[in-house]
Amino acid sequence: MAVDDASHRLIGELLTQRTGQQLTEGRRWRISSALSGLFREFGIENVDQLACMLERPGEQRLATRVVEALLNNETYFFRDHAYFTVLANTVLPDLARKRAATKRLTIWSGGCSTGQEALSLAMIFAEQPGRWQDWSIEIVGTDVSGKAIETARSGLYTQFEIQRGISVAQMLNFFAECKGNWQASDKIRSMTRFQQHNILDYPPSPGRFDLIMCRNVLLYFDPQTRSAAFDRLASGIANDGWLMLGAGETVVGQTEKFRPAECGSSLYSPATASLSSAAPRVRAAAV
């Protein structure tokens, strides 16, 4: 094995140990490009030099920076808009009916990156004040990246980020210009809280979520790790709750903890749900 191959493998193993994500051979091309800024900052010439530095004692800070740089934090507001249409027209009305007595909803946005998914959900609630008046809405956004969570907590986005996915009306209603950037308003930030968390760890509090969104996270795991992630998600969802995955993800052949819902190819119900509380038969746009 060439030195370069060994170095790539060491970096890939570091990512897996810290996050559970697999850096397959097909994704190794990302290492040099993703770490280019780190190379310049630390005066590193190539992957082999980086691997040698990571092997030295006391390089935990560098290791953390490497992992942060390798994580794919690509996201934007209302990413894959059809998903949010299904949420607004099918999932949330169903939960409104189920939780009418308590008027409380808890939602988990797993792998939330820099917070746009959670804030997009908050905008849906804010745009329907009549339906959600007097409700307690809590959207918990988690991500393994501490840097991403810092951005999510700040609610501060660049002009480029703010223009991806939201209309001018939403921008003006829910954000305020702040020194060249855009700050999310208290109206939507008050529904969200963010914390650093690995999807492979026990679910964050409150522990029983009405809706879990975990999109484009599990596809980076090997089958064994993916099964463990499904176990964690199952332990954190209400018996009559909903799970939404990404377009390239499914529970079929991956876990016995969930079953496909009948109103969208990326929606799932806990396998323990009774027939009376299972997802309704609703015609909705497939996502």
Please report, rounded to a whole number, the percentage of residues in the chain having pLDDT higher than 70: 90
Q: Which two tokens stand for residue 167?
A: 């209309």
Q: Which two tokens stand for residue 234?
A: 């199952």
Q: Where are the beta strands (DSSP E) in the chain?
A: 104-110, 136-143, 156-157, 175-178, 181-184, 192-196, 209-214, 237-245, 258-260, 267-270
The rounded distance, in Å, linking the Cα atoms of 31 and 11 is 8
The more confident residue out of 21 and 125 is 125
Q: Looking at the predicted structure, is the pLDDT value of residue 277 above 60?
A: no
pTM of the model: 0.85
Going along the chain from its start, the domains and CATH numbers come out as 3-70 (no CATH), 81-270 (3.40.50.150)
The DSSP bridge pattern shows strands 104-110 and 175-178 to be unpaired
137: Cβ contacts below 8 Å, ≥ 6 apart: 105, 107, 122, 125, 191
DSSP single-letter state for residue 266 = T
| Residues counted in the chain | 287
Q: How far is CA 278 from CA 76, 231, 260, in A?
A: 31, 19, 10
Mean per-residue pLDDT over the chain, rounded = 89
Q: Looking at the predicted structure, is the pLDDT value of residue 276 above 60?
A: no
Instruction: Give me the pLDDT at residue 284, please.
Output: 41
The rounded distance, in Å, linking the Cα atoms of 18 and 287 is 31
Please report, rounded to a whole number, the percentage of residues in the chain having pLDDT higher than 90: 64
Tens digit of each residue's pLDDT (9 = 90 or more) over 110-146: 999 999 999 999 999 999 999 999 999 999 999 999 9
Q: Which two tokens stand for residue 26?
A: 């097909």
- 234 membership: H or E segment, kind and range: helix 223-235
CB 31 within 8 A of CB 47: yes
